[in-house]
Chains A and B, each alone.
Chain A
Amino acid sequence: MKEICIQLIYLVSTALFILSLKWMSHPATARRGIVSGVVAMVAAVGGAWMTPGIESYHWIIGAIAVGFVLGVPLAMVPLTAVPQRTALSHAFGGLAAGLVGVAEFYLMYNHDKVLPRESWELTRFTTGALTAEVILGFLTFTGSLMAAGKLQEWIPTRPITYKGQNAINFSLMGVALLCGTLLVYWPTTLWFLFPLIILLSLAFGVLLIIPIGGADMPTVIALLNSYAGLSAVAMGFVLKNNLLIAAGALDGSSGLILSIIMCKAMNRSFTNVLFGAFGQVQAASGAIEQRTAKSATAEDAAQIMDAARTVVIIPGYGMAVAQAQHRVRELYDALTKRGVTVKFAVHPVAGRMPGHMNVLLAEAEIPYDRLIEMEEINPEMPEVDVAVVLGANDVVNPAARHDKSSPIYGMPIIDADKAKTVFVIKRSMNPGFAGIENELFFADNTLMLFGDAKVVITNLVQALKG
């Protein structure tokens, strides 16, 4: 009877998780989605709490308390740090799945019958699911830690490559899968392969992420999100728990869709992102001809913007680094007050995680209907008087449209160059992350505004008011 109750609670919880994600489709209903998610999670915890076989609660209560102590500060990070927080929480998720897998293996190997379950044996099927769970869990753990380190810039964000890197990675994964297969066939005699698989997965996670550069982080974070979900699915197969499988699958498909969107937005494939070490090889391609870019002062720029009817601001990671979003809001207010229509063009891969720019601009209280997706804004660009490129680079490089030799050829870009006047706010003429020269900077209708994004925008606002 109790068992049926628990299953029914899990059923309701699954439905609420689905609704929670469904309500995320629009900002107007999204907060309802959180309520539904919280209720679903509380129900799931409640169901697990009632599981027969649980006899002592002090470890549970202690661990939940620790979760609150760590979780609350982690939720209060500044929004510019959200990408690394997200990576860190994927690491926690992977670690949790991995550790549960280890504990289950240990219990089953020792035929421990303290836990109620249908079989205490290490059957081939259970072993297979356990192997998948620990491989996914532990590679997500170290991989996400590396990603978080790169995003926090504790580890160099440039790709770290060496000769035969892919060969080493593939053979490492191959050995892990081989061990997994052998273990499935002889689970009890070859038990020692289990710790070996854990070590290989931990190492693989690190090696997989070090050759990936900062600009590819949106895809990688989304992919790790997917892995964290899949490890929950594998855990569900071990525990024969459909709630775990359903919730894990929702998470896995979410990560998958986001990474597909990111890949498409860069015109690259998964394999290319994971094994391409982007931004390493191309730097040496061809001699760069000496060209000069025109620069302008904030006062000149303010005058031109004042006379404009429409201004489109194109934010990139540079805006996040300079924490310039609140200054951008002031610029938005100053221009709007003067009757200028201001829009924001957001490229899907701008920033370090999917949707990064939207959250920063929303934080600065810019109304979300002013944030326009690339596909919608591009047809309007020829009519736009002024485009302001703020800390973005590759996503506005016209070479992606016509230069077949360019490494970013084919990547969809925001057509900033089609605007009547383009201002590029940039620290210096250094090429962007991928080391690709940006011809937009040398175009006839482009004026460079050199300096820190925050300072330049502040000067612009001053000039507009004065």
Chain B
Amino acid sequence: MTYAPWILVAEAEGAQLSSETTAFLTSLFTLMLATFIGLEVIKNVSRLLHTPLMSLTNAISAIAVVGSIVLAGQKAPSNLFTTILGAIALACSMTNIVSGFILTDRMLKMFKKREPGKS
């Protein structure tokens, strides 16, 4: 299933939707390019580091903070329900960011080369 029919429908429905179509197409480009970069970059990650890689990507996928900060910071009394949802989401994402980066650092510190002189 493709998005294509929706875009056509959107175009037909009126002019105010065409900026949405452009935004969507740009986003699609971003998605495609980022996926290819991601695949290439991750392919080169040493197998030694797959566990630290997972905790690092945990932290990176917590980029959802961007969405939750905006929700948590709305004019407070007007929309308590969505503010609280945003705050919970923000707390979850922040937990991942903090623990993800600290844990990755902890693990990477442990990977050491042989000390010279020892066989």
Interface residues in A, total, Cβ within 8 A: 126
Please state if A367 and B112 are interface contacts (CB–CB under 8 Å).
Answer: yes
Please state if A30 and B49 are interface contacts (CB–CB under 8 Å).
Answer: yes
Give the A-B contact count at a CB cut-off of 8 A: 406
Please state if B61 and A247 are interface contacts (CB–CB under 8 Å).
Answer: yes
The answer, yes or no, to whether A334 is at the interface (CB within 8 Å) is no
Interface residues in B, total, Cβ within 8 A: 95
For the complex, what is the distance from the CA of A79 to the CA of B104, rounded to whole Å? 11
Please state if A24 and B82 are interface contacts (CB–CB under 8 Å).
Answer: no
Please state if B42 and A21 are interface contacts (CB–CB under 8 Å).
Answer: yes
One digit per residue, 1 when the CB lies within 8 angstroms of any chain A CB and 0 when it does not, for chain B 53-97 equals 111111111111111111111111011011111111111111111
Q: Which of A87-95, A279-287, A397-405 contacts B (4 or more CB under 8 A)?
A: A87-95
- Which residues of the partner chain B approach A339 to less than 8 Å between Cβ atoms? 119
One digit per residue, 1 when the CB lies within 8 angstroms of any chain B CB and 0 when it does not, for chain A 326-342 equals 00000000001001010
Of B20, B26, B67, B71, the contact of A119 (CB 8 Å cutoff): B20
The answer, yes or no, to whether A82 is at the interface (CB within 8 Å) is yes
Considering residues B42, B61, B81, B83, which has the most beta carbons from chain A within 10 angstroms of its beta carbon?
A: B61
- Which residues of the partner chain A approach B93 to less than 8 Å between Cβ atoms? 67, 92-93, 96
For the complex, what is the distance from the CA of A59 to the CA of B47, rounded to whole Å? 41
Question: With A232-B61, A368-B111 as given contacts, are A100 and B71 in contact (CB-CB < 8 Å)?
Answer: yes
Determine the main DSSP class of B at the interface with A: helix
Question: With A367-B113, A368-B112 as given contacts, are A355 and B47 in contact (CB-CB < 8 Å)?
Answer: yes
For the complex, what is the distance from the CA of A76 to the CA of B55, rounded to whole Å? 13
Question: With A37-B101, A96-B92, A99-B88 as given contacts, are A355 and B69 in contact (CB-CB < 8 Å)?
Answer: no
Q: Interface of B with A (CB < 8 Å)? A: 3, 6, 9-10, 16-17, 19-20, 23-24, 26-27, 30-31, 33-35, 37-39, 41-76, 78-79, 81-115, 118-119
Give 28 pairs: A residue, B residue, CB < 8 Å, sorted on A.
A34-B56, A37-B101, A37-B104, A41-B97, A59-B90, A60-B87, A63-B87, A67-B90, A71-B95, A72-B102, A74-B95, A82-B103, A82-B107, A89-B96, A89-B99, A96-B89, A96-B90, A100-B67, A114-B79, A119-B20, A236-B27, A245-B27, A246-B33, A258-B50, A261-B47, A355-B52, A359-B110, A367-B113
